[in-house]
Amino acid sequence: MNTGIRKYSLTGCPVCGSADFAAEIESQDFESGTGSYRVDCCRLCGMRFTNPRPAADSLYDFYRARESADYVRPNRLTEPLRALAIRRWVSKVTAHCGPCESVLDYGCGDGFFSMQLARFAGFRNISAVDLHDHAPVYLQDQDAVRYHSFEQLKREKDRYQLIFCRHVIEHVPDPTSVPAVLDNLLAPDGTLVVEVPNYHSLWRKLFGRYYFGLYLPRHLLHFDEHTLRYLFRNYRQVKLYRNHTPILGQSLGYVVGRAIGNLGLVGLCLFPLQVLVDRIARSSSVLSLVLRKQKR
């Protein structure tokens, strides 16, 4: 990608607007070499955010070619493992909601999660949206999932009984707009599942500036349990899950300066160790918040 991106510095917290914040971590863009960045922490609301950050007209450059870690390339060896993890997770989530014939994958990435949703008998109407006008690799040449861009989604209202918003809001410049957008899309008493990387992960404390979960500068926001709940405070909060996703491979890769994928041989072999240590330490790499739309 073009490394000559434009940046700007925030003078206030993107959630509460407070100008009282301080730097916690300084690191760099290990993926595409666009320079150094800080993670600042707001002293008023506790939100952590990347500063400086890419300007709005430069953000899309990070995702244009679908070559970042947000878009996993097809791999026959890892797909069964991904599918199993998704099925187990969706089974947990659906225990908190009623019939879900209309489902939305908001920010679908490579589309693999959406395709797994299509294999659940109760999900008859599945939509997936992302930044691009054309469908990702897993959603091409199929009829099970309807794909469209965020622009097309703006015309819909009160449509979906279940929305998954997985690893999306940490990429959004204006996080305060997301809860309202999703509320507008949810059917009355609908269920929303939001997932974000956990800033308070044990592995972030161990790897420091090399922690893959920071993913600078693509991750503009860095959530913990408090800030995630605060952002979605106008929803009824049903359950918070502390989940796990492979992060050790690329974290080690950042340390040694080599390309080591989270879903490659090294990353997958380390994942059981990651989960075991997390459980012993009562930590997690992901926070998943199940929410219900408030009755008006």
Nearest to 120 by CA among 94, 138, 146: 94
Q: Is the pLDDT of residue 74 over 80?
A: no
Please, what's the b/e burial string for 53-72 (b: 16 or more CB within 10 A of its CB; e: otherwise)? bbeeebbebbbeebebebbb
- pLDDT reported for residue 236: 94
Q: What is the dihedral of CA 118, 237, 196, 107, to 10 degrees?
A: 40
Whether the CA torsion 62, 291, 115, 133 is positive or negative: it is negative
Q: Is the pLDDT of residue 121 over 80?
A: no
CB 243 within 8 A of CB 288: yes
Residues 6+ apart with CB under 8 A from 150: 129, 130, 131
Superfamily of domain 7-292 in CATH is Vaccinia Virus protein VP39 (3.40.50.150)
Q: DSSP string spanning 102-133?
A: EEEEES-TTSHHHHHHTTSTT--EEEEEESSS
Q: What is the pTM of this model?
A: 0.93
Q: Is the pLDDT of residue 98 over 80?
A: no
Between 129 and 94, residue with greater pLDDT: 129
* Residue 47 confidence class, pLDDT cut points 50, 70, 90: very high
Q: Is the pLDDT of residue 10 over 90?
A: yes
- pLDDT reported for residue 169: 96
- pLDDT reported for residue 112: 93
232-256 pLDDT per residue, tens: 999 999 999 999 999 999 999 999 9
CA distances from 231 to 179, 198, 227, 241, 259 (A): 7, 15, 6, 17, 34
Residues above pLDDT 70, as percent of the chain? 98
Q: Is the pLDDT of residue 95 over 90?
A: no
- pLDDT reported for residue 158: 67
Residues above pLDDT 90, as percent of the chain? 65
